[in-house]
Structure 1
Amino acid sequence: MKGPTFSPMFRKFAISYLIVLLLPNIAGYLSYRASADVAVANSVENSRLLLNQSKEILETRLNEVKSFTKQLAINQDLTRLMSETLPEGEHNVYGLWKMSRDISNFSKTNEYLQSFYIYLNNSDVVLAPDAVFFRPEHFYANNRYADMSLQEWREGMLNRIHENEILPLSPYVRSNNPSSVITVVQSLPLNSLYRPKATVVVTINERKVGSLLDSMSERYGGWGFITDGDGNTMLASGIDQADIEQLARVPSGLEEDWRRFENGMLLISIRSDATGWRYTAGIPEGVVKEKANQIQRETWTFNAVALLAGLLIVVLFSYRNSAPIARLLGMFKEHPGTDGSAIRNEYVFLAGSISRLMSSNKELEEELDKQLPLLRDSFVKRLLTGEFLSPGEIAAVSSRLGMKPLPERGCVGLVRMIGYDSESSEEMIHEYNLARLVLKAKLLETMPRLLITDWGSDKIAVLYPFGETESGEAEEEDGFARRLEQASGNALRNYPMTLALATGDSYRTLRDVSRSFDEAQQALEHSAYAGENRLTRYREIVRETEMFYYPIDTEQRLLKTLKAGDAEESLRVLDRVLTMNLAERELSYEMRQQLISELKGTLLKLLDQQPFYDEEFAAAVGSRIAQLQPADKTEKLRSALEWIVNELCRDVSKKKVDRYHETIEAVKQFIEREYANADLSLYRIVEAVNRPEKFVTQLFKEYAGESPIDYLERVRIGRAAELLLENELTIDEIAVQVGYNSGHSFRRAFKRVKGTAPSAYRQSSL
C-alpha cells in the first residue's frame, strides 16, 4: 500500500494548503509596498509640517515685534519726547528716564524684544530699557555692527526712513561679545516722508531665531536655512554659507515645487506669503526612508519565518488529513478512527498592545496632573489681563481645570516685595523666591478662596472672590483689604524687606476683573511714586486731570470684543472709558481732543484690519466716526459711539449667521449626497465641511432642530419609503441601498421614524 505521504490525497491536500499559504504572502508583499510608500509620504509630510511650524512661529514673533513698534508710535509720552524742543544741551531728564523705565516692560513680553533701543532725533539721545545714552557714541561703543562704522550707523540706520524693514543677518558686538543678529527697524512717526523724528531698532540674536531650525539637525541630522526675496541668507542652522551657495536645484517653495531628492538629500522648501522669505531644509534620504526600510526588513523576515512554518504545517496537516482517508481505502471494513486537531489561537501581540496602551494612558494622566497647577496659574493670568470674551468661556475653562465656579463679585490686589537694590546674586534671588513662597502660603491660609499668581519677579497678584453670604460691597472690599494687609505684614516679619500693597475697586462681573487689576496696578504705581509704605486703594488716589485714561490694554480689549461682535461688552468698555475721563476727570480741551482722536483711531483701525466689511458699510461707519468732535456734549458723544458699536457688532453677527447657514446647508447637501454610504459617520460629516465636531452638532441642533445623525436617519428612511412604494426590491436590498449594514438595524430605524414596520408600510400602499 502506498504511504500516506505520497498518496494522491496527500498531494491534493498539500496543493490546496500551498495555495492558501501563498495568498497571504502575496497580500503581505502588496501591503508592504503600500506601507512603505505611506511611511515615506508621512515622513516627508511630517518634515514639511515641522518646517512650516518653524516658519509660523518666526512670523508670529516678528509680527509681535512689528506690533511693538506700532504701540510705540501711539505712546503719548514718546510722542511728546519726539516733538518737544529744548535749548541745545538741555534734556527732559525725567521724561527720558520715565520712558526708559516704561519700555523696559516690553522686554519681558517677547524674547525677541530683549535687545532694542529708540533714537530721538531732536535731542540726539538713545533710549534703551532702563538706560539713557545722551551721547549715541557711548551706546555705539558697546552695541555696534562689526561691519558698520559710527557714521554709517548714524546715516544708514538712525537718520534714514524705515518702514518695518528687516535687515539680513549681520555680525554684531555687544559688550565685546561677538554675535550675529537680525535687525528690525521702524521710523516714527509711522509713514514718515522726510527725516524721522525717532527710530526704533530691535536686534534679534541669531541663537534665538536659529533655535527654530535646530530641530532639523537635532531630530533628523539635517540642516536648514532662510533666505529673503533677494536671495540673501537671513538665517542658517547646520550649514555654512559656502555650502548654501553650492546647492543646485533647490525647490522654489511653491505648491507645485516644494520637495525634491538630490544627492542623497530630501530638499524641502516653503515660501512665506507675508514676508516672501523661503524656508529650506535638507534631510538625509536614509532618515526619510528609515521607517520604510524597517518595514521592509521586518516584512521579509516575518514572511520567511511564516513561509517555513507554513510549509511544516502544510506537511503536518496534509499528512494528518490524508492518512485516515488512505487507511480507509486500504481497509474495506475498518471504520476510520477519530483524530482531534489542536487549534492554536495566540493573542500575545494584542495582549501586549493593550498592556502598553494602559501604561501609556496612566503616564499621560500623571503628566496632566503635573501640568494642572501651571494651567490654573495661566488661567488666573488670563483672567487678570482680560483675555476671556464671555462668562461662558471663563466657566468652561475653570470647569476643565477642576476649579469651583467663581462668584461674579470680588476684588483684585497686588503685593510688591521691596528689599534689595539688586537681584543679580544667586543668594538674593533665592531669598526672594523663598519670601514669595512664605507670603503666598500665609495669604492662602488667611483667605482660602484666594487665587494667587506671580506677576514679575517681585510682585504677587491676588484675586479674592467675595463669598455669597457677605452682605455689603463696602464690607467685602474693606474686609479683603484688611485681611490682605494683616496677612502680608505677619508673613515676612523675619525677612529684611518691606511690602507695598494696592487694591483696585471691586468688580461685579468676571469680565470686569481686568479693570480691577488695572486699577490695582495704578494704585501700586501711585504708592511707589508717592513713596508710601502702606496699602493704597484705587479709590483713594487723587485723580490726575492733566492726562486722559485710555491704556493699551483697554484698547486691545475693545478691539477684541468688536471683532467678536459682542456689543454688550464693547459698550461696557466704552462706558468705562467715558466715565473715567468725562465724569471722574476734568480734562482740558486739548486732552479731550486727544482722547477723541484715540477713540476714532481705534475704530478706524478696526475698519482697516477687518477686510470682510463691505465698502459701502465701511464708508458709512467711517463717515460717522469722522463726525465725532471733542466739542460734542457727553451724551451726544456717547450716543454716537453706541450707534457705531451697535452697527459694527450687528454686521459681524450678521456675517456669522450667514456663515452658520452656509455650514448647515453644506452638511445637508453632503448627507443627501452620501447617505447610501454605510460608513458615513459624524466624523466624516464634519471632516467634509471642515468644522469642529462639537461646533457642527450644536449649530445644527440650534438652527435645524435636530442633530446631523438624526437628519441622516431621516434622509435614509425617506428614501427607503420611496423604494418600498416602488415594490421592486426586497427589504434587505433596500436597507443596503440606503446605507444600513443589516436588515435588522434598518427595520428598527424605520419603525422608530415612521411608527410602523417596513413590510406593513409596503402593504398599506397596495
Structure 2
Amino acid sequence: MNKHSRIFRSFLISYIVILIIPSLAGYMSYRTSIAVTQSISIENSVTLLQKSQQMLERRMAEVEGFTRQLALNQDLYVLMNQKKRSSSDDGNVYDIWKIMKEVMVFSQTNDFLKNYYIYLRNYNVVLTPGSAYFRPEHYYDSAHYTKMNMLQWKSLIMDNTHSREVMPLKPFSLNGNPTSVISYMQSLPLDSFGEQAPATVVVLIDQKTIASLLSGVQERYGGWTYVSNAEGDAISMLGIGEQEASAMNADSAFNKEKQSQFYKDDLVITTRSASTGWIYRAGIPRSALMENANYIKYISWSVTGAALIIGLVVGWILSRRNSAPINRLLGVMREQFGKDEPIGRNEYDFLQGNISTIITSNRALEQELNRQLPLIRDAFLKRLVAGEFQTLEEIAAAASQADTGLSLNEGYVGILHIHGYAGLDSVEILNELSAARLLLRQSLRDIDGRILMTDLGSDRVVAIFPAVCETTDEQTSRANIEQLLEPFAALMFSEYKITVTGSFGDPFTSEMEVSRSYEQAKETMGYADYTQRKGFLWYANIRQESATYYYPLDMELRLISTVRAGEEAEAKRIVGSVMQQNTEDRELSPEMANQLIVELKGTLLKLLDQKAFAESEQFEEVKNRVLEIQLAGAIDTVRGELDRIIEAMCGMITSKKNDLHIKTVEQIKQFIAQQYGDSELTLYRIAEQAERPEKYISQLFKEVTGTNLSDHLEKVRMDRAAELLQDKSFTVDEIALQVGYNSSHSFRRAFKRVMGVAPSAYRQSLD
C-alpha cells in the first residue's frame, strides 16, 4: 500500500509540474503582449479622437460665426424689421432676392452650411440658399423632420426663441431622400429673448458630414464612434446603432466617466468637450486591438499546446498504471458493501470515509422516515375515509407507503366522541383534549392492535375496526365490537373520568366502501347528538327509529351559495338530495314533514332578503310563492314548487349579472371613445380601467356585443379617420397619428380593411 501511495504522489506531482510550467509561461507572455498593445492603442485612440473632436468643434464654431454674420447684416436687419403694408403684400421681393444672393456664398464654400434656412416672421417666408418660400408649408413639403408634423415644426422651431441651441440627431427627409441631421438654431437679432423673435436661422448639418470628421477611428481600426450631448441624445453615430448605444449607456457594468474600459468585445474610449459638454466615444474591436499581439499569442499557445499534449500523454500512462489497484478496490467494495474494512493511512481512506458518510446518512434518513410514518399513516386514513382514492390499486399503493400492515377487505367505521368539552376552546382545554385523545387511542390499541385511528376535530376519533372473521354475520360482528368497546368505555371513565360514546356505519366489504361507512357514522353521530343518546349507536338502528328530518347546516349553506351563484342545476340537486334523505331513508311524521318545509322556506326567505334579490322586479312575486308553500298533499308536489322557485331566483341572479355586464361594456365603449387617439391603448389598459382581468374583458365584450374588442377599437378609429378625411387641411399621416397609429402604413391597411378603400381614394370619392 505504501508503494502504491508513493506512485500516486509521484504521478500527481509530475502531472501538475508538466502542465503548470508551460501554461504559466504562455499566460505570462500573452498578458504582457496584451498590456503593451492595449496601452499603445489607447494612447493612439485618445489622440485620434481628440483631433476629431477639435475638428468638429471648429466646424461648429464656423456655423456659430455664420449666424453672427447674419445678425450683423444690415440688409437682413432692415428686412426682418419691416412691416407688411397689407395682408396681401408678399414682401419686398428685391430685398429678399438680395439677401439670398449675399448668403448663398456660404453654402458653396462650407459643407456644414450646405443646408440652412432663414425664417422671417413678418413676411412668413422661408429663405434657403437657392429658393424663397412665401408659404412655409411648401418648404415643409420638400424638407422636414420625419417624425414631426408641420404644426410641431412651427411650434418648436419657428415660434420659439433660440440661442446657440443644437437639436440632437433626428430623422429628416430632404427632397424625398431620407437622412438624419442635427439642427443649429439661432434667433435674430442675437439679443432676442422674447417669446417670438423677428427671424430664426436654422442650419441643418447632415449626419454623414459629421461622421466624415470622426471616421479616423473606423478607418484605422474598423471600430465605431458615437457623439451625444450632455443629456445623452445622439449627435453623430458611425458604425453603431442608436439602440446599441442606448443599451451601453443604460448598462450598469459600463462606467460613463472612465476614459478607457473594455465593454463586451470593444475597448471604449471616452472624452468630454469642455466648451459644448458633448461626449465623444470611440470603440475599438478587441480583435483589432490585439492584432499586434496575435503573433506572440500564436507562438505562446503553440508552445503551450505542445507541452500540454506531452503532459497529457505522460499523465495518461501514469494514470493507467495507478488506476488498476483503485479499480480492483472499487470492485471489492461493490461486492462487500456494508462490511467493515480495515482503515489505513493511504489513498483508500478517502473512499472509506465517503462510504461511511453514505451509510450514516442512509441511517439518519431511515430514522427520519420512521419518525414521519405516523403522519403518513394518519394522512392515508384521512384520505381513505374522505373517499379521495379512485381505484383499489391507488389505495393499495398508499396503504403500502403508510405501512398499515392490514387488509381492509371488511369491517366497520366508527366515530368515538369524548364528551364534556363542547363550546370550550381555550388553550388549557385543547391541551387536555389532546391528552384525552392520546389516552383513548392508546387504550384502543392495547385492546386490539389492528384498529386504525385518526383524529376528527378536537374531541372525536375515527376508528376502523376490521372484521374478526369473514364468515361472521353482521349481527354477530356488531355484538363483538360492542363487547370490545363497553369494557373500554367503562375503563376510560373509571380511570380517567372520560365519557366516550360511539356511532358506527354499515359494514364495508371493500376499501372503496370505507368512505360510505364513514359518512353513515357521521350521520349517526349527528343523530346521537340531537337525541342525546349515550353508548354505542348503529346506522342500521336510526333508519327505523328516526323521527326527525335531515337538513344539516352545511347542506343549507351549500344551497344558499349555489342559488347566489345562479347555479340552478346544482341547487335543484341539493333540494332533491334533502327530499330523498327524508322520504326514502326516513319515515317522518306529518309534523316533522311540515317542519322540514318550514326550514326550506326559511332558507329561501333568507336568500330573498339579500340585496341581489330585493332589487329585482320579481321580488314580491317570488316571495309570495315561497310563503304560499304548504304540505297539502304529496311531498313531490312541494319539491316541484321548490324547483320552480329556485329556477326563478337563479333567473333573477342571471338577469342582474347580464345588467352588470351591459353596464361594464358601456363603460368600456366610453373609455375607448375618449382614448382612441392614444397609440398605447391596449387590452391591458382597457382591462385596468375596467378593473377586470384581460381575458374576462375580452370574452365579456364578445358575449354582449357579438364583436371582438379589438375590432370595435379599430372601427371607432376608422370612423373618426373618415370624418377627418373630409377636412383637407390634414394629411393622411397626420390623421393616422390623431387616431392612434404610429405608422401611416398600418393605418392605410386598417382603413382599407374596414372601409374597403384606401384613405386617398376615400377622400377623392368625397369630391
**Normalised by the shorter chain, which TM-score bucket?**
0.3 to 0.5
Considering only CA atoms, is the larger Rg found in Structure 1 or Structure 2? Answer: 2
TM-score by length of 1: 0.34
